[in-house]
Every structure is written in C-alpha cells, then in structure tokens.
Amino acid sequence: MNLYILKHTSTANVILIFVLLVSFSAMSVDKLMMKMESQSLHKGKVVKVEAELFFQATSGRMITRYINPAHRVMVSNNKGEVAVYNEKENTVTYEQGAEYSTESGLIHFFLQGKTNDLGLSDFGFQQMSTEFNDNLVITEWFPPESLYHIYNRVELVHEDFIPIYAAYYDAQRKLAKKVYYSDFHYMGDVYLPGLITEFNYIGNDSIINRIRFTDIKVNHQAVSPWFNFEIPSDARLNK
C-alpha cells in the first residue's frame, strides 16, 4: 500500500509509481484517458514524472506512456502482468505480482464507488470506531492479523461522504503516512481525486509525493491510438 516512493527513474521505479494507480475497473467508465504529473521531494531533491494513461475497463488493460522520463511505455493488466518497453533501446522488462494488477489499487476503489473505506475491507481491515465532528466523519480501522507487523490502525476522514484524508499508523503505533485527496473530478456516478498529496515518514525524515491528474476524458471522448499499443515482437528482453 505504499504510494509513489521515487528515488530515481529506473525501470523498477517506473513500475512502482503506479502500484496504487493502475486500477480502473469502473462502473460507468468503460474507457479512460488522462495526463498525470508526479513530484517527489526527498532531502531537497525533486523527482518529476509525467505520463499519459489509457485504460480499457472491459479487458482491464492499461497503457502508460511516459513523457518524462521519455521513451518508456508500460503495459499492465488485471492479471498482475507488467511489461515496460524502452522505445529508444527497443528492450522490454517483465514483472508480475498481485500488487501490479489493474484490479487492486486506490483509483479502482474510487471508480467502483468503494469510497467508504477506500478498499480497506478488501484487504481484511475491520472498522473499529466512528466519530462525527461537524460535517466530518472519522473512522478507525483495525488490520487483519496478517498485517499486524505493518499496521496498528488506519484513520479515514470523510467530508460530505467524500474521503479527504487517510492516516496510516505502523506496528509501533507511530504515524507512518498521511494522504490527502482533493480537487475531485465527477464523471456521472463516479468520481476520483485530481490531486493526491502524501507524506511518508521514515525515522526523522520524510518523503513528500504529489500526484496531479488533468485532461481527463472518458468513454466516447477517450480516443487515441495508444489504446491499441502493442510491444514490438522484435523487442529484446532486458534481463
């Protein structure tokens, strides 16, 4: 459940940047395309990533075309299979894992309307308390036993039924991560945040990640040849 921990722009980090964002199995969204800009700040250094995303809900297939760093295209699906193609070198790198699936991720839960818990119940979390503060609803969630070594609890804050904040506490009950959701885009009966800001705390240090989505187009408005992109058959395997 880590989000956008970027240290450099290697193939591994290109894959990791969308671990929580490559999930768009939607209710009223059959096709979706949008631009993404990511900034990661750590120890005074800023890493920027720009990309265009093309998703087809029926097949669960996602094409991520990187503009910065350039020459890379990532193809992922709902089976957790990921291929990163380097256009300049005509090489391809393959990865596979449940965390890469286009059916497990934060945006998936927004587009599925699962905003009451942001998918925590799907990971085995159970709601432990509910508090009302003006127009805010604050809930706390216990992790399953299998995650006791990682999390003590998760706190969610909703405003007018929309999730605006999440806090993750580690096994030592220390605040490990804060996430803010804002600038929501509404698309019929679903919506997703246009801006996600995350603070990851590592000892006395922290990593700040800011992800912005723009130029969002859905269904008949989402038209691009990139939806049909295929990795060239003569691409060399990058070991």
Q: What is the CATH number of domain 11-237?
A: 2.50.20.10
pLDDT tens-place values along the chain, 239 residues long:
433 333 344 554 444 444 444 444 444 778 889 999 999 998 889 999 999 999 887 788 889 999 998 889 999 888 889 999 999 999 999 999 877 777 666 666 776 777 889 888 988 999 999 999 989 999 999 999 999 999 999 999 999 989 999 999 999 999 999 999 999 988 777 788 999 999 999 888 899 999 999 999 988 999 999 999 999 999 999 87
This prediction has a pTM of: 0.79
Domain boundaries, the chain: 11-237
CB 118 within 8 Å of CB 165: no
| DSSP notation for 71-138 | SEEEEE-TTSEEEEEETTTTEEEEEE-GGG-TTSSHHHHHHTT-TTTTTTGGGT-EEEEEEEETTEEE
Torsion sign across C-alpha atoms 20, 24, 28, 32: positive
Residue 228 DSSP code: G
